[in-house]
């Protein structure tokens, strides 16, 4: 091996390793900025429609729930079935547990004959549909929601 | 200085340095190596800018992989020039396969309904390997057709992930043949694959397949009892294999103490350890070490060669690159909604992570050595091609999350 090459290779190895580490550092930095941006986007959820906010501590549940569910359609069915508008895999829910619907500028709620019932502000619902006010607590199965009504 | 914060610039600097070094290393100097280096650089740059410009999803995956490929080809050209050039040609083919698999996965919608097809294709490939395969280094895993030789297990790996994903994303309460739960039917299929791999003596890939199954079972079904039973069964299988098969006993013995028979069975691992230790922190410098003393240095033991010539820091850099890559994969999988896509992303990520662990653990004598390639770095067309196909799928999946 020529002397020139030996010197070149021995010098370049330091630069080489440094550049590789700069590369790794640059990628980690960009990923870090990405996460930071994603988190700051997440902190202020935008709601221009009425939504249900989950207030049960999600860590105590064995199934997945979102932190909030926007009510985008006029009829919303909550239950365990996969075809429900809001489908939550909670064993204490019936396939079609509760129905919410929008009529004459009011949100109505009715239990759909579920096994474990629907609780409004801690009281079990009868078969009569009720009109919801913003801030009412709704408990279905093991999950408790607060309804936040936006707009009229 | 601001340019140094852009990973793509650093990648290009690394490529330039790598091929300039190679140019001076070769005697007589060969101008072709500069052209080859230039084309590798061009491909990395074009693909990166295409991903950023057309918003094709995660921009880091391809960057990380390009870095790994540059380091791998650099080392290969230094160890064996012919292999290195072949590997670069395979890299060009693989990048086209990357684009192809990207677009196929993005636009073909029925991939999740072909579980049985993947399984049967995998079995056919296995049987073809057993019938027409040739033996190389103890494992019967090559099919040679003219100048081309293929390692089918690299592609079965992908079929296997697709097969598992289509099961884990489907409705799992179906009954097969009227009475067997699908869960157990899948288990049977997995063990059938493992059986084929054991017949081919591909222990590394068998372990990889098993871990992929366990990981996906844990993530998507979470049947802890079943996982425990699997571990017991695998432990039993491994125990029986250890007691009955001589070459496994040799593998374990050389892992526990390679110095006992250092001139024969322990030679490879001992040379690997010598190479790593002689490198020190910064290595001997490219072309100034003696990695060619390690048998199979261009495939399984390329990490030891990197450690010798680029030093401990170079080796750790490789591990870190795989680390970020796996992290990105896991993040893509977590962000996707439940279903086939999520399973595929998780499966591919687990595959890359575990495969890297198995071979790196093997060459540094952390776990018993099993012959398996280091993704994106080891010499081998099939390995590179299948890794890039998987990368294309992962790239398409990361694009899904942007679309939403």
Would B211 be classed as within a structural domain?
Answer: yes
Are A9 and B286 in contact (CB < 8 Å)? yes
- Please give the pLDDT value at position B209: 94
Contact B379, B298 (CB under 8 A): yes
Return the pLDDT at B146.
Answer: 67
Which of the four pLDDT bands, split at 50, 70 and 90, describes residue B99?
A: very high
Task: Give B17's contacts in chain A (Cβ within 8 Å).
Answer: 12, 15-16, 19
Mutate to test the interface with A, among B68, B286, B321 (most CBs of A within 10 A): B286
| pLDDT 10s digits, B19-69 | 888 888 877 777 888 888 898 899 999 999 999 888 888 888 999 999 999
B291 touches chain A (CB under 8 A): no
Q: How far apart (Å, rounded) are the C-alpha atoms in residues B123 and B125?
A: 5
Structure tokens at B144: 């040679």
Asked if the Cβ–Cβ distance from A19 to B314 is below 8 Å, we say: no
Provide the CA B48 distance to its chain's centre, in angstroms. Answer: 21
When divided into structural domains, chain B yields a total of 1
Does B317 fall in a domain?
Answer: no
ipTM of the complex: 0.83
Residue B291 has pLDDT above 90, yes or no: no
pLDDT band at A150 (very low <50, low <70, confident <90, very high): confident
Task: Assess if residue B220 is contained within a domain.
Answer: yes
C-beta of residue A106 within 8 angstroms of C-beta of residue A98: no
Nearest to B113 by CA among B176, B163, B49: B163
List pLDDT tens digits, range B117-166.
999 999 999 998 888 877 766 666 777 766 777 888 899 999 999 999 98
pLDDT over 50 (residue A9): yes
Encode pLDDT of B169-195 as tens digits.
877 666 666 677 888 888 889 999 999
Contacts 24+ apart (CB under 8 A), A93-96: A93/A140, A93/A141
**Using 50, 70 and 90 to split pLDDT, how confident is the model at B404?**
very low
Domain carrying residue B213: 112-242
Top-confidence range, A31-40, A130-139, B344-353:
B344-353
* Structure-model confidence comparison of residues A57 and B357, the more confident one: B357
- For B313, the token pair is 């820091």
Nearest chain B alpha carbon to A9: B285
Averaged confidence pLDDT in chain B:
87
Is the residue at B157 inside a domain?
Answer: yes
- Can you give the pLDDT at residue B98? 94
Q: CA-CA distance, B377 to B83, in Å (whole number)? A: 12
For tokens 């039973």, the residue is B229
* Residue B337 belongs to a domain: no
Q: Which of A5, A23, A31 sits opposite B11 (nearest CB)?
A: A23
Question: Rounded CA gap, B177 and B158, in Å?
Answer: 27
Is the predicted pLDDT of residue A47 greater than 70, yes or no? no
Asked whether residue B332 is assigned to any structural domain, the reply reads: no
Q: Is residue B347 part of a domain?
A: no
pLDDT at B337: 83
Query: What pLDDT does B137 receive?
Result: 61
Q: How confident is the model at residue B90 (pLDDT cuts 50, 70, 90)?
A: very high
What pLDDT band is residue A43 in, cutting at 50, 70 and 90?
Answer: low
Closest CA to B79 of B287, B267, B248: B287
CB nearest B60 (choices: A20, A22, A27): A27
Q: Does A10 touch chain B (CB under 8 A)?
A: yes
Dig out the tokens for B345 from the structure.
């992303």
Residue A27 touches partner B, C-beta closer than 8 Å:
yes
B72 touches chain A (CB under 8 A): no
The mean per-residue pLDDT over the stretch A102-114 comes to 86
B117 assigned to some structural domain: yes
Of the partner residues A12, A26, A31, the one whose CB lies closest to the CB of residue B17: A12
B 302-341 near A (Cβ less than 8 A): 309-311, 313-314, 317, 320-321, 324, 327-328
Nearest chain A Cα distance for residue B317, angstroms: 7
């Amino acid at each position: 091996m020529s002397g020139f090459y030996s010197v070149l290779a021995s010098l370049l190895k330091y630069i080489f390793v440094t550049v590789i580490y700069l590369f790794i550092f640059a990628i980690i930095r960009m990923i870090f900025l990405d996460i930071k941006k994603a988190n700051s986007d997440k902190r202020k959820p935008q709601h221009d429609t009425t939504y249900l906010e989950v207030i049960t501590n999600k860590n105590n549940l064995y199934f997945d729930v979102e932190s909030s569910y926007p009510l985008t359609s006029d009829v919303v069915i909550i239950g365990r079935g996969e075809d429900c508008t809001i489908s939550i895999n909670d064993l204490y829910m019936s396939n079609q547990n509760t129905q919410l619907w929008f009529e004459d500028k009011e949100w109505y709620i009715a239990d759909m004959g579920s096994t474990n019932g629907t609780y409004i502000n801690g009281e079990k619902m009868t078969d009569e549909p009720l009109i919801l006010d913003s801030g009412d607590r709704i408990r279905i199965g093991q999950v408790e929601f607060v309804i936040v009504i936006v707009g009229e | 200085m601001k340019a140094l914060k852009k990973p793509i610039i650093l990648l290009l600097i690394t490529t330039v340095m790598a091929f300039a070094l190679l140019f001076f290393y070769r005697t007589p100097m060969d101008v072709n190596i500069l052209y080859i280096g230039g084309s590798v650089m061009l491909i990395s740059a074009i693909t990166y800018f295409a991903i950023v410009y057309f918003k094709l999803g995660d921009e880091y995956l391809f960057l990380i992989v390009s870095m790994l490929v540059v380091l791998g080809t650099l080392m290969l050209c230094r160890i064996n020039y012919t292999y290195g050039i072949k590997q670069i040609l395979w890299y060009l083919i693989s990048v086209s396969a990357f684009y192809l698999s990207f677009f196929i996965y993005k636009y073909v919608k029925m991939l999740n309904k072909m579980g049985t097809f993947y399984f049967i294709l995998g079995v056919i490939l296995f049987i073809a390997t057993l019938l027409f395969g040739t033996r190389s280094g103890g494992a019967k895993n090559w099919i040679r057709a003219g100048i081309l030789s293929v390692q089918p297990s690299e592609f079965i790996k992908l079929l296997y992930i697709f097969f598992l994903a289509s099961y884990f994303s489907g409705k799992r309460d179906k009954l097969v043949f009227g009475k067997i739960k699908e869960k157990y039917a899948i288990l049977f299929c997995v063990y059938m694959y493992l059986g084929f791999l054991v017949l081919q003596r591909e222990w590394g890939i068998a372990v990889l397949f098993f871990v992929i199954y366990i990981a996906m079972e844990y993530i998507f079904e979470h049947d802890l009892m079943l996982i425990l039973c699997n571990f017991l069964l695998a432990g039993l299988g491994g125990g029986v294999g250890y007691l009955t098969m001589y070459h496994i006993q040799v593998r374990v013995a050389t892992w526990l103490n390679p110095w006992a028979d250092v001139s024969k069975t322990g030679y490879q691992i001992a040379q690997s350890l010598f190479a790593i230790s002689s490198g020190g922190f910064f290595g001997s410098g490219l072309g100034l070490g003696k990695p060619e003393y390690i048998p199979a240095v261009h495939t399984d033991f390329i990490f030891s060669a990197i450690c010798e010539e680029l030093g401990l820091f170079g080796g750790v850099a490789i591990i870190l690159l795989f680390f970020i890559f796996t992290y990105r994969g896991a993040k893509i999988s977590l962000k996707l909604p439940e279903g086939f896509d999520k399973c595929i992303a998780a499966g591919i990520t687990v595959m890359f992570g575990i495969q890297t662990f198995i071979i790196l653990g093997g060459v540094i004598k952390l776990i018993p050595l099993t012959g398996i390639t280091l993704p994106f770095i080891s010499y081998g067309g099939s390995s590179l091609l299948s890794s890039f196909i998987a990368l294309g799928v992962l790239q398409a999946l990361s694009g899904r999350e942007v679309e939403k």
